[in-house]
Amino acid sequence: MDYKDYYQILGVERSASADDIRKAYRKLAMQYHPDRNPGNKQAEEKFKEINEAYQVLSDKEKRTRYDQLGSSYSNWQQRGGSPGDFDWSQWFSGQGQPSGNVHVEYGDLNDLFGGGGGFSDFFQSIFGGLGGMQQTSARTRAMPNYQQQVEISLQEAYSGARRSLQMDKKRVEVRIPAGVKTGSKVRVAGAAPDGRDLYLIVEVADDPRFERDGDNLRTSATTDVFTALLGGEAEVETLEGKVKLKIPAGTQPEQVFRLAGRGMPRLKSSQGKGDLFVRVKVKIPKQLSSKQKSLLEEASRHKSL
């Protein structure tokens, strides 16, 4: 059995933070998702491999266990060992687990693939076969539910969305509630072909107009230097259309204003919406009329008054 380098699979360093791992996973999962590569078996296998790596590296206890194995495997290789001769048995029996009693909790490992055996022998051996155990607790529970990734736009996350899914010979209409985030799960009771529940794992696509921060949104608006100096209004994009932002006299470049209640809906809450934070960018004209130049020069002479 070959050792699988999960860090290399996700393209991250062994010292990568949880956030770095999550970002790398999201990028690769979107690239190799079967919905984007229909009929491509290589992409499908790559997608499973990426998910397997993420299942380990995103879980603190599994990652600790995997790092302990990786250290032993690396040291053994440096001593001149060949891949086929590594003593895997100490890891299968639990003898390779160091002192400190690291506890690894086994969930239903096939959930992500609907029970389809999406994990490699390496994964099953290290995380599903310790001490000869065959995941008894997982197998005595109900059969795993189906999970499927679905991508929606930020606008759809704001307003709510619907998706029509073909499940075997059955078409299912699914409502995705307003306010969902990347990673939100939408449960559709009994929608799988065998009557099990279907869970949609939501991926909210980036929107170039906005940056999302929980239930808040951040954007920018541009105004001219004269409006910034004298006051006026600037046009601001929101997810409900354009609105006017009052610009007080003396507004500074990069100053931030808050539009209350113009952010994302709060999922499963009646407390309204988050806020929209607008960063004002001041546009400096490259050319001035003679009158404008004269007025600015006059103002400059009196700036210390």
Domains of the chain are 6-139 (1.10.287.110), 146-204 (2.60.260.20), 211-301 (2.60.260.20)
| Closest-CA residue to 127 (of 108, 144, 114) | 108
**Per-residue pLDDT, 217:** 97
Q: Distance (Å, rounded) from C-alpha 245 to C-alpha 90?
A: 66
Q: CB-based contacts of 144: which residues, under 8 Å, 6+ apart?
A: 108, 110, 111, 114, 115, 196
Answer whether 21's CB lies under 8 Å from 53's CB. no
**Per-residue pLDDT, 104:** 26
Give the SS3 label for residue 232: strand
Which residues on neighbouring strands pair with residue 173, listed in sequence order?
Answer: 164
**Per-residue pLDDT, 1:** 58
pTM over 0.75: no
The torsion angles phi and psi of 217, rounded to 5 degrees, stand at -125, 150
Place of tokens 């990347």: 182
Tell me which amino acid residue 29 is. A
Place of tokens 């259309």: 241
Residue segments in the chain with a per-residue pLDDT below the cut of 70: 1-2, 71-119, 124-145, 193, 270, 302-305
Radius of gyration of the chain from its Cα atoms, rounded to whole angstroms: 27
Q: Distance (Å, rounded) from C-alpha 227 to C-alpha 234?
A: 8
**Per-residue pLDDT, 133:** 33
**Per-residue pLDDT, 71:** 66
| Closest-CA residue to 7 (of 279, 92, 16) | 16
**pLDDT of 58-112, one tens digit each?**
888 888 878 877 766 666 666 665 555 566 555 554 444 433 332 222 233 333 3
**Per-residue pLDDT, 76:** 65
**Per-residue pLDDT, 191:** 77
**Per-residue pLDDT, 305:** 44
